[in-house]
Amino acid sequence: MQLYKYIPSEDENIVIHGRTCRTVPLPLFWTGSGIELNTDGTELYFEIETDYSIYEQWIRILINNYTMIRMPLPKGISMVCAFRGTKSDSIKNVRLIKEVQPMQYDPASFLKIHSVQCNGKLYPVKKRKYKIEFVGDSITSGEGLAGPRDLIEWIPMVFSTEGNYAVQVAEVLDADYRIISQSGWGVYAGWNNDPNKALPKHYTKICSVLSDENNKRLGTCQDYDFSEWKANAVVVNLGSNDMFAFNKPEWIEPGTGKVYKLRLEADGSYNAEDTEKIHHAVYEFIKLIRKCNKDAYILWTFGMMGRGLQPYIEDAVSAFIRDTNDHKVSFALLPDIKDEWIGANNHPNAQSHAAAARVIAEKLLRLNL
């Protein structure tokens, strides 16, 4: 049976999800990025190329919004069968999703889609009502969603978009979504006090958390064109790793010997100078998001893995609203993790994500974006 070859970056009936460069082959960088199409074919294959030295790439394939395949990809070029033997008189919605975040510490790691090959025609994908961007850390990357509570290993297998709060919110609101997230990163510093692990520093680029030469050639450090995909809302879930950093050892910058540490006082309270750094980082990031997304609603969320920094984050959001009179900005406290809501790596499981998704979706639904 003859298979027709469709090129994602060239075919108008293939929807590209996630920040990327429309090149051939098509690179996928962020969690939740991928492609989507409708077809009447009876069999369909994805031609995918990948490599890694430490962290393999995982994908999920959905047929009519149901997960049919979740798998790691081998090195090299593979033909991954999405389905075969289906009826020719049915049009199927097919979506391939990248399950893992950008793996900064594995420069060899990449995922490219060369083509879609099927024996049928492609049809337009129905446009969704909204566009929502989610910015966050390991929670937003879906760490822990694909593993049991007793699995404590930082490996790609435990990351997933299935059950992810961002995906759930998008489904409730009939929205396309984009995820910008890195495990261990914060708004001011990472979990280990490293100020380089601050996601706002990379917000205006396509995916500059991947800054090695191989990924640069794929376009990761290029400026991101915010006009190409205008978000109706930007949902931020950052601050948890900054909070954890207060209880971690100092970070010493290689080469300079400069010491960075978010400090606790003798009584266990947060040092006032350091909470001011968090306040400033939150305020400035909201300012940057607004500059890049002039009409979007900005919702800062917090609280799924502890609430220690809530007063300082919430105060920074309020200060921005007060100073700018921008009432398309707000804060939402998310349900804190319960014992029965713990997944792999002591991260939120699907129940925790569902609880957070309800709060966010209800908030955004009331706004009528």
- At 244-284, the pLDDT tens digits run 999 999 999 999 999 999 999 999 999 999 999 999 999 99
pLDDT digits (tens, 9 = 90+) for 219-254: 999 999 999 999 999 999 999 999 999 999 999 999
| Same domain assignment for residues 96 and 147 | no
Q: What pLDDT was estimated at residue 368? A: 78
Which residue segment(s) compose the domain that 8 sits in?
4-121
| Same domain assignment for residues 52 and 149 | no
Domain boundary residue, one of 121, 155, 173? 121
Query: Within 10 Å of residue 273's Cβ, how many Cβ atoms?
Result: 9
- The secondary structure of 56-102 as a DSSP string is --EEEEEETTEEEEEEEPPSEEEEEEEEES--TT--EEEEEEE-S--
Contacts of 150 (CB under 8 A, 6+ apart): none
pLDDT digits (tens, 9 = 90+) for 75-101: 999 999 999 999 888 999 999 999 999
| Same domain assignment for residues 175 and 314 | yes
Domain boundary residue, one of 81, 101, 121? 121
| Same domain assignment for residues 283 and 356 | yes
| Same domain assignment for residues 141 and 103 | no
> 């995820």: which residue's tokens?
179
| Same domain assignment for residues 239 and 341 | yes
pLDDT at residue 369 tops 90: no
Question: What is the rounded distance in angstroms from the CA atom of residue 220 to the CA atom of residue 229?
Answer: 17
Q: What is the CATH number of the domain that holds 80?
A: 2.60.120.260
Q: What is the CATH number of the domain that holds 302?
A: 3.40.50.1110
| Same domain assignment for residues 169 and 141 | yes
- The secondary structure of 241-279 as a DSSP string is HHHHHTTS--EE-TTT--EE---B-TTSPBPHHHHHHHH
Domain count, the chain: 2
Q: Calculate Rg over the CA atoms of the chain.
A: 21
Contacts of 217 (CB under 8 A, 6+ apart): none
| Same domain assignment for residues 226 and 345 | yes
| Same domain assignment for residues 46 and 151 | no
Contacts of 35 (CB under 8 A, 6+ apart): 8, 14, 15, 16, 17, 26, 95, 96, 113, 116
Domain boundary residue, one of 121, 156, 185? 121
pLDDT digits (tens, 9 = 90+) for 140-150: 999 999 999 99
Question: What is the rounded distance in angstroms from the CA atom of residue 20 to the CA atom of residue 125?
Answer: 19
| Same domain assignment for residues 190 and 327 | yes
| Same domain assignment for residues 107 and 193 | no
